[in-house]
Amino acid sequence: MQPVRTVDDLTGPRPLPVVGNLVQMRTDRDGHRAYDRWAHEYGPTYRLRFGKMPIVVSGDGPIVEAVLRDRPDGFTRTRVGPVLEGLGVDGVFGAEGARWRRLRKMAAESLNAAYLREYFTVIARSAARLQARWTTAAENGQAVDVLDDVRRFTLDVSTALTVGHDLNSLEAAGGGLHSRLAELFPEIGRRLYAPLPLHRFVTLPRDRRRRLAMREVDALVRDRYAHARTRMATGAKPATFLEALVAPLRDEPAFTHDELVGNVLTMMLAGQDTISSTIAWTLHHLAGDPGAQERVRAEASTALGASGPPDGPAALRGLRFTDAAIQESLRLRPVVPVMGFRPTRDTVLHGTGYDLSLPEGQSILLLLSHGARAVPDPDEFRPERWSGRMTAQPFFPFGAGPRFCPGHNLAMLEATLVVGLACRDFQLLPDSGDVGEKLAFTAFPTGLRLRPQPRPEPAGAARP
Ligand code: HEM
């Protein structure tokens, strides 16, 4: 028998009057690191206060896993559903119960392995455009804004995969839909942590940009809807997420226009900031570790061929070290470091050395990747860790259980391809400047610029 801890038994950082720990929780410069520091100081399960309300935070592997697996019946997501709905992003991520089951089935089907093979052509086309953009920068000796460029890549890919439209923001100059959509994730974070719903009373320029982006997506869905309906009426297999949504479902009512937009937007967004931040952080770490970058370059030169993207996803199987570099980056800079849940009934969770008793409705924030800090030199970037026992670590950058990220394979495919091609074709050097992390629902790098240089010639090789 282990001792049982209740919410009142837990300790944590001292709350301020009225706001509690809210100010400390809005970690604008330090990203998610504050949560890890508190876990170090108060133990893997501790307590914060949101105003007066207690919030349990846990990075204890068995507790994190138990909550993630006990869904949809035992735990629901906290607050995020209504926030997403208010922003018009009302899709599978925020749904619960029967509605979630219906949407999940479609999301999982449209992202299964068979589709990934078909999607590869679209992904490779955008990867080639990203390479061309960085070739120009390398030739002109310019630094690149990695996150902005990779966001263009992921938005182009996710727009093509969700509605079948080639946005091509990679070859467009200046800000576009990708920069306006970038306002959405931070706004979700702001609304989740806001003590008062100020957005209902004040409209800021960023709100206007975000609304403009929503109208653009709405128009895109309207435009592609008729096309999707016509194709699905022929009995064709869905080739985009929108087609999967409009394809007739046995005994189920059709989706309304708002539901279509909400779901398309959910998939577009889920596949955009998450992958772009992961790629950007991985390239940042590789730029700071020339030895690791060289190992990626060597295997990418063999696996991906001499120039351009490979013909199919099978080539990526040769990128074992590249995959390890991405895992290691996710360990150091998880893009979804913290997620909130609520038990639907009184629950006791089995932790490491104690049981945690939670009353129904008690908010619990999970630190999804905290468990993987229990390694030697946890702040060091060491991809080689992943060749051994690391897979046994309680590490959940994509969640776990029935609501595990359905885009995991697509994400790893895009990230491995882009990181492999970037290291094969360029030598990446860090640019001067202060790189930070911002946590706003997802976590993303700030100030991340790199200098791509023409690639170093392999010894004795002639350039094609
Ligand atoms: C590096 C990239 C990505 C990361 C780190 C990531 C991470 C996550 C995490 C942590 C969750 C919550 C899982 C849970 O509750 O157990 C999630 C859910 C989800 N992700 Fe991803 N994701 C990524 C890319 C993608 C992509 C590419 C797509 C689709 C195009 C996608 C679609 C979704 C959807 C639809 C959900 C909600 C699933 C549900 O509630 O049933 N994600 N993701």
- pLDDT tens digits along 143-177: 999 999 999 999 899 889 888 889 898 998 766 77
CA dihedral 42, 47, 52, 53 (to 10 degrees): 170
Residue nearest atom 31 in ligand 1 by C-alpha distance: 407
- Ligand 1: centre distance to CA 76 (Å): 15
d(CA 385, CA 379): 13
Point out the ligand 1 atom lying closest to the alpha carbon of residue 266.
35
> Which structure tokens are listed for 96?
């619960």
The answer on whether 423 is annotated among ligand-binding residues is no
Query: Position of tokens 């005994």?
Result: 251
Check the CA dihedral 311-313-319-322 and report its sign. Answer: positive
- DSSP characters for 114-152? HHHHHHHHHHHHHHHHHHHHHHHHHHTT--EEHHHHHHH
The pLDDT tens digits of the residues spanning 290-312 come to: 999 999 999 999 999 999 999 99
Percent of the chain past pLDDT 90, that is, above it, reads: 52
- DSSP characters for 200-242? GT---HHHHHHHHHHHHHHHHHHHHHHHHHHHHHTTPPP-SHH
Residue nearest atom 37 in ligand 1 by C-alpha distance: 93
d(CA 341, CA 361): 9
Assess whether pLDDT exceeds 80 at residue 251: no
Give the phi and the psi of residue 459 in degrees, each rounded to 5: -55, 125
Angle at 136 between CA 175 and CA 436, to 5 degrees: 55
Name the pLDDT band for 449 (thresholds 50, 70, 90).
very high
Assess whether pLDDT exceeds 80 at residue 190: no
Give mean pLDDT, residues 1-27. Answer: 87
DSSP code for 405? -
- Ligand 1: centre distance to CA 324 (Å): 20
Point out the ligand 1 atom lying closest to the alpha carbon of residue 278.
1
d(CA 46, CA 365): 10
β-partners of residue 50 are 20, 53
Closest CA to 424 of 171, 134, 147: 134
Which segment of 137-146, 257-266, 286-295 scores lowest on mean pLDDT?
A: 257-266
β-partners of residue 54 are 49
Closest CA to 400 of 63, 65, 60: 65
Assess whether pLDDT exceeds 80 at residue 319: yes
Point out the ligand 1 atom lying closest to the alpha carbon of residue 330.
5
- Ligand 1: centre distance to CA 344 (Å): 22
Assess whether pLDDT exceeds 60 at residue 128: yes
Point out the ligand 1 atom lying closest to the alpha carbon of residue 368.
10
d(CA 28, CA 21): 14
d(CA 75, CA 97): 11
Assess whether pLDDT exceeds 60 at residue 443: yes
| Helices (runs of H) and strands (runs of E) counted in the chain | 16, 13
Position 30 scores a pLDDT of 66
Assess whether pLDDT exceeds 70 at residue 28: no
Point out the ligand 1 atom lying closest to the alpha carbon of residue 399.
16
- Ligand 1: centre distance to CA 405 (Å): 4
- Ligand 1: centre distance to CA 154 (Å): 14
Give mean pLDDT, residues 190-212. Answer: 79
Residue nearest atom 19 in ligand 1 by C-alpha distance: 405
Pocket of ligand 1, beta carbon within 6 A: 68, 92-93, 104, 107, 111, 158, 266-267, 270-271, 274-275, 278, 335-336, 368, 397-401, 403-407, 410-411
Position 270 scores a pLDDT of 86
Of the two residues 71 and 237, the one the predictor is more confident about is 71
Point out the ligand 1 atom lying closest to the alpha carbon of residue 412.
1
Q: 464 burial class (0-12, 13-18, 19+ CB within 10 angstroms)?
A: exposed
Angle at 269 between CA 112 and CA 55, to 5 degrees: 105
> Which structure tokens are listed for 292?
């690791």
399 touches 405 (CB < 8 A): yes
Position 464 scores a pLDDT of 40
- Ligand 1: centre distance to CA 158 (Å): 13
CA distances from 42 to 19, 188, 286, 357 (A): 20, 28, 33, 18
Q: 111 burial class (0-12, 13-18, 19+ CB within 10 angstroms)?
A: buried
Tell me the Ramachandran region of residue 18: left when phi exceeds 0, alpha when psi lies from -120 to 50, beta otherwise: left
443 touches 335 (CB < 8 A): yes
- Ligand 1: centre distance to CA 102 (Å): 17
35 touches 368 (CB < 8 A): no
Give mean pLDDT, residues 427-436. Answer: 91
Helix axes 257-270, 205-233, angle to 10 degrees: 110
- Ligand 1: centre distance to CA 303 (Å): 28
d(CA 323, CA 384): 10
Which segment of 165-169, 230-234, 454-458 scores lowest on mean pLDDT?
A: 454-458
Q: Which amino acid is at 357?
A: S
* Domain spans in the chain, listed from the N-terminal domain onward: 78-335+396-454
Residue nearest atom 10 in ligand 1 by C-alpha distance: 398
- Ligand 1: centre distance to CA 379 (Å): 25
Residue nearest atom 6 in ligand 1 by C-alpha distance: 398
Q: Measured over all CA atoms, what is the biggest interatomic distance in the chain, rounded to whole angstroms? A: 68
Q: Which amino acid is at 279?
A: I
273 touches 442 (CB < 8 A): yes
Query: Position of tokens 């890890």?
Result: 36
Assess whether pLDDT exceeds 70 at residue 388: no
For the chain, what is the mean pLDDT?
A: 88
Assess whether pLDDT exceeds 90 at residue 12: yes
DSSP code for 297? H
CATH numeric code, 78-335+396-454: 1.10.630.10
Mutate which of 341, 405, 408 to test ligand 1's pocket (most atoms within 8 Å of Cβ)? Answer: 405
Q: Where are the alpha helices (DSSP H) in 174-204?
A: 177-181, 184-193
Assess whether pLDDT exceeds 50 at residue 107: yes
Mutate which of 109, 245, 327, 398 to test ligand 1's pocket (most atoms within 8 Å of Cβ)? Answer: 398
Q: What H or E segment, with its residue span, contains residue 448? A: none
Point out the ligand 1 atom lying closest to the alpha carbon of residue 91.
35
- Ligand 1: centre distance to CA 406 (Å): 6
* Upper half-sphere CA count for residue 267 (Cβ side, 13 Å): 31
CA distances from 360 to 115, 267, 302, 347, 436 (A): 40, 31, 55, 7, 37
Residue nearest atom 8 in ligand 1 by C-alpha distance: 398
Q: Which amino acid is at 162?
A: T
